[in-house]
């Protein structure tokens, strides 16, 4: 059965460019035979966190939360496409992830970062490693950092110039790392129940 992977993207900006990287990741994972869905925080437009999904009485969570909770629980792995805002994380994606907790447990996550500058969002990626680990995910060691976007992916998300060549070279190992941990986690969950 194909690995079920959710790709999360969190920019709310009008002229957001990171969506190019999110779309690229989705296409590359699909080409590898994965069952992939892009979860766009802006499209979901969840309210600012007032109550976590688990804090609603059973059957009373808003439809968007209920639907997304089910998708997260059914996923085998996650890929977070993260932009860097002021050396840190995007508020839209952070707000989305904070609505859930136990739903994330015992699955691997990979991080692909980006920024307008040459550091490619690595400071945000470092912050996300701690956040995702605290939320019960195993963060794989391989990462992708893209910056500036215009020197890596065009408006259709197709690789351009040396940045695009570097991304095409780097993505297979990144995806292999995620696939290995996805298989390991699936095998372990089939072998025995999770500890909590």
Mean pLDDT by 10 residues, the chain (196 residues): 96 94 98 98 95 96 96 98 94 97 97 92 97 98 94 94 96 98 96 89
Tokens found for residue 162? 């040396």
Q: Residue 146: which of 120, 117, 175 has the closest Cα?
A: 120
User: 3-class SS at 147?
Assistant: coil
Exposure on the CB side of residue 180, measured as CA atoms within 13 A: 10
The residue ranges of every structural domain in the chain are 4-191
User: 3-class SS at 39?
Assistant: strand
pLDDT of residue 89: 96
pLDDT of residue 47: 92
Cis peptide before 12 (omega within 30 of 0): no
Architecture of domain 4-191: 3-Layer(aba) Sandwich (3.40)
DSSP assignment of 76-135, as one string? SEEEEEEE-BTTB--HHHHHHHHT-SGGGTT-EEEEEEE-SSTTTTHHHHHHHHHHHHHT
pTM of the model: 0.97
CA distance 83 to 12: 11
CA distance 90 to 68: 19
């Amino acid at each position: 059965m194909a690995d079920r992977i959710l790709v999360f993207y969190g920019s709310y900006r009008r002229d957001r460019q990171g969506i190019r990287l999110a779309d690229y990741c989705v296409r590359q994972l699909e080409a590898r035979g994965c069952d992939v869905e892009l979860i766009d925080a802006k499209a979901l437009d969840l309210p600012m966190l007032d109550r976590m999904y688990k804090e609603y009485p059973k059957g009373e969570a808003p439809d968007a939360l209920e639907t997304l909770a089910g998708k997260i629980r059914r996923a085998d792995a996650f890929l977070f496409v993260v932009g860097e805002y002021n050396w840190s994380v995007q508020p839209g994606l952070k707000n989305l992830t904070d609505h859930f907790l136990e739903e994330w447990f015992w699955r691997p996550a990979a991080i692909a970062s980006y920024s307008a500058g040459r550091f490619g969002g690595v400071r945000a990626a470092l912050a996300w490693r701690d956040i995702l680990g605290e939320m019960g995910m195993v963060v794989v060691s391989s990462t992708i950092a893209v910056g500036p976007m215009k020197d890596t992916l065009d408006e259709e998300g197709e690789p351009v110039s040396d940045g695009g060549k570097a991304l095409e070279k780097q993505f297979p190992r990144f995806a292999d790392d995620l696939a290995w941990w996805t298989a390991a986690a699936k095998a372990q969950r089939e072998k025995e129940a999770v500890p909590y």
